[in-house]
């Protein structure tokens, strides 16, 4: 069998035959001869003649440990529909790509499942190249009808690049939280751009929109989809309660520290050496303790380690204000653990009364925020829009961001989000 025939059988490149095979230091270069025919613009139009032509190489899937390159003459054509000179489309590669379709599909399939280092080492390519491939695959595969018929959506912001830049992400609650839209920015105008893309009819169809407690998304929804019921994502409310705990902890720590300082001043100059037997433990320990109670206070009670449980018990025994903080936080979280969701309004009002009388500044502030958003918080429970999906989404996006060790551009990150959270199914070349 001739070597060209063998490569024809191995590669079976659509509408081209193998004309030559060359072993070079860069790898195996397979020369392709196109079947005869007029060049076709990527827009689909056939051109009458070629403008000029050149030879191009595309990286294809490796042959053993050799890199494999496809090489063919590629023509440029003056497309009347596009109104400019464009490079003809070839069936084995996407427009502007320097890798074959099969190579790009394998990369996209891997990018859905694994991290940067694995892909770049396994396929011997750069991360920038991977980002470009993901963008091309997503542009081709994304469901263009994903914005039609949306009923219940969730909106959230996602920080990237060490928290300095933000994306606004919209997910479809009825499609198991798949991402349907993402764009750079996190203000009202960003979300308004989404509603504009949805169109007036699409906005009118919306039944519920879940979001954070901020004003931006609320404002955009108020103006563009006023009929939709707005809900506050439980995830954000719990995050706010945790923040209140941290503030209260610092507040309590400051109080303890001042107490310790006053006690130290009263006791006069420090005595050297071991304190006499039976003397009370130094007050300073108490302050350190408040500082270290952090995780015990923040974690889910079910997930606490024995040592952290001891911390909680100690706080309760000593009548610490932090124990009350912890009770307040868990009381708010209980809102989402009620066996009967119709009890939610009564539970929330009971909590509000408790929190605003607590005389713990952080929780008094929190109670004000909660009161201002009472209807939106209860709507989430009534409509069963738990944020577990969106919370999952948020951590998924953070993971993707982390996997990529930061993306060069928002566009690259958005493409990666669509690839991994947009419900795209990438077919491997071997599965077709
Ligand atoms: Zn064209």
Give the Å distance between the CA of 408 and the centre of ligand 1.
Answer: 30
Neighbouring residues of 273: CB distance < 8 A, sequence distance ≥ 6: none
Task: Output the pLDDT for position 162.
Answer: 67
Give the Å distance between the CA of 45 and the centre of ligand 1.
Answer: 6
Give the Å distance between the CA of 298 and the centre of ligand 1.
Answer: 59
| 3 burial level (CB within 10 Å; 0-12, 13-18, 19+) | exposed
Task: Output the pLDDT for position 34.
Answer: 86
pLDDT at 367 over 60: yes
- Name the pTM for this structure: 0.81
Provide the 8-state DSSP code for 52. E
Give the Å distance between the CA of 47 and the centre of ligand 1.
Answer: 8
Task: Output the pLDDT for position 406.
Answer: 62
Give the Å distance between the CA of 51 and the centre of ligand 1.
Answer: 13
| Mean pLDDT score, 56-79 | 93
Q: What is the pLDDT of residues 408-419, one digit of tens each?
A: 788 888 999 899
User: Quick one: tokens of 394?
Assistant: 């948020």
Task: Output the pLDDT for position 376.
Answer: 92
Task: Output the pLDDT for position 262.
Answer: 87
Q: What's the CA gap between 120 and 131, in Å, rounded?
A: 11
Give the Å distance between the CA of 138 and the centre of ligand 1.
Answer: 21
Region for 124 from its dihedrals, namely left if φ exceeds 0, alpha if ψ lies in -120 to 50, beta otherwise: left
| Mean pLDDT score, 33-43 | 83
Q: What is the pLDDT of residues 348-364, one digit of tens each?
A: 999 999 999 988 899 99
Give the Å distance between the CA of 94 and the centre of ligand 1.
Answer: 14
Q: What's the CA gap between 131 and 97, in Å, rounded?
A: 12
Give the Å distance between the CA of 33 and the centre of ligand 1.
Answer: 23
Give the Å distance between the CA of 90 and the centre of ligand 1.
Answer: 13
Mean pLDDT estimate for the chain: 86
Q: What's the CA gap between 265 and 407, in Å, rounded?
A: 54
Task: Output the pLDDT for position 134.
Answer: 94
Please name which of 246, 268, 259, 181 lies closest in space to residue 220, comparing C-alpha atoms.
181
Give the Å distance between the CA of 77 and the centre of ligand 1.
Answer: 9
Q: What's the CA gap between 165 and 184, in Å, rounded?
A: 8
Share of the chain above pLDDT 70, in %: 91
> Which one has a higher pLDDT value, 34 or 401?
34
Give the Å distance between the CA of 410 and the centre of ligand 1.
Answer: 28
> Which one has a higher pLDDT value, 282 or 205?
205
Alpha helices in 144-283 (DSSP H): 188-205, 216-224, 234-266
Give the Å distance between the CA of 140 and the centre of ligand 1.
Answer: 17
Give the Å distance between the CA of 48 and the centre of ligand 1.
Answer: 12
Give the Å distance between the CA of 99 and the centre of ligand 1.
Answer: 21
pLDDT at 250 over 90: no
Task: Output the pLDDT for position 159.
Answer: 80
> Which one has a higher pLDDT value, 20 or 398?
20
Q: How confident is the model at residue 156 (pLDDT cuts 50, 70, 90)?
A: confident
Q: What is the pLDDT of residues 175-190, one digit of tens each?
A: 878 899 999 999 999 9
Give the Å distance between the CA of 83 and the centre of ligand 1.
Answer: 7
Q: How confident is the model at residue 272 (pLDDT cuts 50, 70, 90)?
A: low
Task: Output the pLDDT for position 348.
Answer: 94
Give the Å distance between the CA of 431 and the centre of ligand 1.
Answer: 31
Please name which of 155, 150, 152, 146 lies closest in space to residue 180, comparing C-alpha atoms.
146
| Mean pLDDT score, 192-221 | 92
Give the Å distance between the CA of 105 and the centre of ligand 1.
Answer: 25
pLDDT at 249 over 70: yes
Q: How confident is the model at residue 251 (pLDDT cuts 50, 70, 90)?
A: confident
Residues with Cβ within 5 Å of ion ligand 1? 41, 43, 45, 79, 81-82
Q: What's the CA gap between 180 and 414, in Å, rounded?
A: 11
Task: Output the pLDDT for position 26.
Answer: 93
Give the Å distance between the CA of 40 and the centre of ligand 1.
Answer: 8
Task: Output the pLDDT for position 274.
Answer: 64
Share of the chain above pLDDT 90, in %: 42
Exposure string of 242-262, with b = 16+ CB inside 10 Å and e = fewer, is: eebbebbbebbbeebbeebee
| Mean pLDDT score, 128-152 | 91
Q: How confident is the model at residue 289 (pLDDT cuts 50, 70, 90)?
A: low
Q: How confident is the model at residue 151 (pLDDT cuts 50, 70, 90)?
A: very high
Task: Output the pLDDT for position 364.
Answer: 93
Task: Output the pLDDT for position 191.
Answer: 95
Give the Å distance between the CA of 38 and the centre of ligand 1.
Answer: 13
Pairing of strands 66-79, 84-87: antiparallel
Exposure string of 373-383, with b = 16+ CB inside 10 Å and e = fewer, is: beebbbbbbbb
- Please report how the helices 127-141 and 101-111 are oriented relative to each other, as an axis angle in degrees rounded to 10: 100
| Mean pLDDT score, 193-216 | 92
Give the Å distance between the CA of 75 and the centre of ligand 1.
Answer: 13
> Which one has a higher pLDDT value, 267 or 388?
267
SS3 (DSSP) at 131: helix
Give the Å distance between the CA of 43 and the centre of ligand 1.
Answer: 4
pLDDT at 280 over 70: no
Task: Output the pLDDT for position 121.
Answer: 95
Q: How confident is the model at residue 292 (pLDDT cuts 50, 70, 90)?
A: low
Give the Å distance between the CA of 44 and the centre of ligand 1.
Answer: 6
> Which one has a higher pLDDT value, 81 or 267?
81
Give the Å distance between the CA of 70 and the centre of ligand 1.
Answer: 24
Please name which of 23, 29, 21, 27 lies closest in space to residue 1, comparing C-alpha atoms.
21
Please name which of 29, 136, 10 lies closest in space to residue 72, comparing C-alpha atoms.
29
Give the Å distance between the CA of 80 and the centre of ligand 1.
Answer: 7
């Amino acid at each position: 069998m001739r070597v060209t025939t063998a490569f024809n059988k191995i590669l079976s490149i659509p509408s081209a035959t193998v004309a030559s095979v060359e072993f070079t230091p860069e790898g195996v270069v397979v020369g392709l001869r196109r079947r005869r025919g007029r060049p076709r613009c990527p827009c689909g139009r056939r051109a009458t003649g070629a403008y000029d032509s050149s030879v191009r190489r595309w990286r294809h899937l490796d042959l053993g440990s050799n890199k494999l390159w496809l090489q063919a003459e590629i023509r440029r054509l003056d497309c009347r529909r596009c109104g400019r000179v464009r490079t003809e489309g070839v069936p084995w590669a996407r427009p502007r790509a320097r890798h074959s379709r099969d190579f790009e599909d394998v990369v996209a399939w891997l990018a859905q499942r694994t991290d940067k280092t694995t892909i770049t080492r396994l396929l011997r390519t750069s991360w920038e190249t991977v980002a470009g491939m993901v963008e091309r695959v997503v542009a081709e595969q994304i469901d263009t009808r994903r914005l039609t018929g949306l009923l219940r959506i969730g909106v959230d912001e996602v920080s990237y690049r060490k928290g300095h830049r933000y994306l606004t992400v919209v997910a479809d609650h009825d499609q198991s939280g798949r991402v349907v839209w993402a764009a750079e920015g996190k203000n009202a105008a960003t979300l308004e751009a989404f509603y504009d893309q949805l169109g007036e009819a699409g906005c009118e169809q919306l039944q519920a929109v879940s979001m954070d407690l901020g004003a931006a998304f609320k404002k955009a929804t108020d103006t563009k989809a006023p009929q939709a019921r707005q809900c506050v994502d439980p995830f954000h409310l719990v995050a706010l309660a945790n923040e209140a705990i941290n503030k209260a902890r610092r507040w309590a720590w400051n109080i303890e520290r001042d107490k310790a300082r006053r006690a130290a001043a009263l006791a006069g100059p420090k005595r050297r050496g071991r304190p006499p037997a039976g003397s009370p433990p130094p007050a300073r320990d108490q302050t350190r303790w408040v500082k270290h109670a952090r995780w015990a206070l923040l974690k889910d009670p079910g997930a606490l380690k024995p040592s952290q449980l001891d911390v909680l018990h100690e706080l309760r025994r000593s009548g610490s204000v932090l124990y009350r903080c912890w009770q307040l936080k868990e009381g708010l979280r209980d809102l989402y653990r009620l066996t009967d969701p119709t009890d939610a309004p009564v539970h929330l009002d009971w909590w509000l009364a408790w929190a605003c009388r607590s005389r713990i500044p952080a929780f008094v502030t929190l109670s004000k925020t909660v009161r201002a958003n009472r209807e939106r918080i209860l709507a989430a429970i009534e409509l069963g829009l738990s944020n577990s999906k969106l919370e999952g989404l948020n951590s998924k996006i953070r993971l993707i961001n982390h996997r990529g060790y930061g993306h060069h551009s928002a566009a690259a990150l958005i493409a990666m989000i669509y690839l991994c959270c947009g419900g795209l199914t990438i077919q491997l070349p071997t599965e077709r």
